[in-house]
């Protein structure tokens, strides 16, 4: 597996730390819980999209792009990191924010990532109502920019295509190397899954080198079967892009959608508990849309003895704490 043949720029001081969480482990009384600190990727408050953007911006530059176009929900961490990444390389950015969550308090529409998008200074921040074909919206903006003499480069929501997923193939390699150095047998990796690039990259990264570490994606939006199908499709594309021999083992893609609650970005009691618990035991800040629901899932699965004493679980902290400020009334009512 040769990752060096793909254009790449660097944003992250790799490896991000892999830390033991003694207080959370003691509080839950189950498996040893470790955390992979991908909230510390170093680009404008960090998060998992930074790893994908190393390959996506690398590819954009290789194509002579002048202007990045991408999209996400109003409180998108991906959009925030994309503007920052483009700024580093002198590229302009147009972003489309889909108003996917309705009836939220004012902070949701103005604070958190939205404020940071404005500070980072995209060339244009446009909004779209929920329910449109956002890929078609992206393509239309791309055409508009091309007509104006720009060279647009379109990045899909979450940076989740095969090029972006390479960032999480790299993360899988990091986890394997760190676990080896610590003499740590990793029994399971758990993380929040949305646009699928993170899980697709991790599973491909582990399977391509036959490490066979199981990955569980806690869905924040789609029902289980649809999420697994979406992850599997992207994993196959990533596997092919890398030129790994043989067929991608599709059964290695496993998701759980029991912690979505009322829908994408809609708070749950478990999320609020998880955010408070990790902050109060370990001093680590999660986020309300992704990692909070992801850890809520892990906590519940420990309570249900799905993960048990003696096991070693690595929770991938995918970032997003900027979103806490958009959920002020939920988290500190």
Which residue among the candidates 76, 160, 195, 219 is catalytic per the annotation?
76
Q: Which among 127, 134, 167, 155 is positioned nearest to 46, based on CA atoms? A: 167
The residue written with tokens 């047998």 in the block is: 185
Regarding 230 and contact with ligand PLP (CB under 6 A), the answer is: no
Q: Least Å distance between CB 77 and ligand PLP?
A: 3
Regarding 195 and contact with ligand PLP (CB under 6 A), the answer is: yes
Burial 173-195 (b: 16+ CB within 10 A, else e): bbbbebbeeeebebbbbbbbbbb
Regarding 194 and contact with ligand PLP (CB under 6 A), the answer is: yes
Residue 4, helix vs strand vs coil: helix
Q: Which among 44, 46, 34, 41 is positioned nearest to 14, based on CA atoms? A: 41
* Residues of span 77-136 touching ligand PLP by CB under 6 A: 77-78
Regarding 290 and contact with ligand PLP (CB under 6 A), the answer is: yes
Could you say which of 152, 197, 205, 265 contacts ligand PLP (CB under 6 A)?
197
Nearer to ligand PLP, 145 or 274 (CB): 274
Nearer to ligand PLP, 69 or 220 (CB): 220
Could you say which of 158, 270, 288, 292 contacts ligand PLP (CB under 6 A)?
158
Please calculate the CA angle 238-221-258 and round it to the nearest 5 degrees.
105
Quick one: DSSP state of residue 323?
G
Q: Least Å distance between CB 304 and ligand PLP?
A: 23
Given a contact cutoff of 8 angstroms between Cβ atoms, the answer to whether 216 and 190 are in contact is yes
**Beta-strand pair 18-20/32-37:** antiparallel
- The site for ligand PLP, by CB under 6 A, has a size of 20
Could you say which of 41, 193, 238, 256 contacts ligand PLP (CB under 6 A)?
193
Could you say which of 53, 166, 171, 192 contacts ligand PLP (CB under 6 A)?
192
Q: Least Å distance between CB 183 and ligand PLP?
A: 29
* Residues of span 13-32 touching ligand PLP by CB under 6 A: none
Compute the distance between CA of residue 155 and CA of residue 163 in angstroms, rounded to an integer: 10
Nearer to ligand PLP, 179 or 295 (CB): 295
Q: Indicate if 76 belongs to the active site.
A: yes
Residue 310, helix vs strand vs coil: coil
Dig out the tokens for 229 from the structure: 């199908």
Compute the distance between CA of residue 246 and CA of residue 37 in angstroms, rounded to an integer: 32
Binding site for ligand PLP (CB under 6 A): 47-48, 77-78, 158, 160, 192-199, 287, 290-291, 318-320
Active-site amino acid positions: 76
């Amino acid at each position: 597996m040769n990752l060096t043949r793909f254009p790449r720029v660097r944003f992250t001081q790799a490896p991000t730390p892999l830390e033991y969480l003694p207080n959370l482990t003691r509080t839950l009384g189950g498996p040893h819980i470790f955390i992979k600190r991908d909230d510390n990727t170093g680009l404008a408050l960090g998060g998992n999209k930074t790893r994908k953007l190393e390959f996506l911006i690398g590819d954009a530059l290789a194509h002579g792009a002048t202007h990045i176009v991408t999209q996400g929900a109003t409180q998108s961490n991906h959009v925030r990191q994309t503007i920052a990444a483009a700024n580093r390389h002198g590229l302009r950015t147009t972003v489309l924010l889909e108003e996917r969550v309705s009836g939220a308090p004012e902070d949701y529409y103005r604070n958190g990532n939205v404020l940071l998008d404005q500070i980072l200074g995209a060339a244009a921040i446009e909004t779209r109502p929920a329910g449109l074909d956002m890929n078609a919206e992206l393509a239309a903006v791309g055409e508009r920019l091309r007509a104006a003499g720009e060279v647009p480069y379109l990045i899909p929501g979450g940076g989740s295509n095969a090029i972006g997923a390479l960032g999480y193939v790299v993360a899988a390699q990091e986890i394997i190397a760190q676990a080896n150095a610590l003499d740590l047998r990793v029994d399971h990796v758990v993380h929040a899954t949305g646009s699928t690039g993170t899980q697709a990259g991790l599973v491909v990264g582990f399977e391509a080198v036959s490490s066979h570490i199981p990955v569980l994606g806690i869905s924040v939006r789609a029902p289980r079967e649809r999420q697994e199908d979406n992850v599997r499709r992207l994993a196959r594309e990533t596997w092919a892009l890398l030129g790994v021999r043989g067929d991608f083992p599709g059964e290695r893609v496993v998701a759980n959608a029991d912690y979505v609650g009322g829908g994408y970005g809609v708070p749950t009691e478990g999320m609020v508990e998880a955010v408070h618990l990790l902050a109060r035991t370990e001093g680590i800040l999660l986020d309300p849309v992704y990692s909070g629901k992801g850890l809520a899932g892990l906590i519940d699965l420990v309570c249900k003895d799905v993960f048990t004493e003696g096991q070693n679980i690595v929770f991938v902290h995918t970032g997003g704490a900027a979103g806490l400020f958009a959920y002020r009334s939920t988290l500190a009512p």
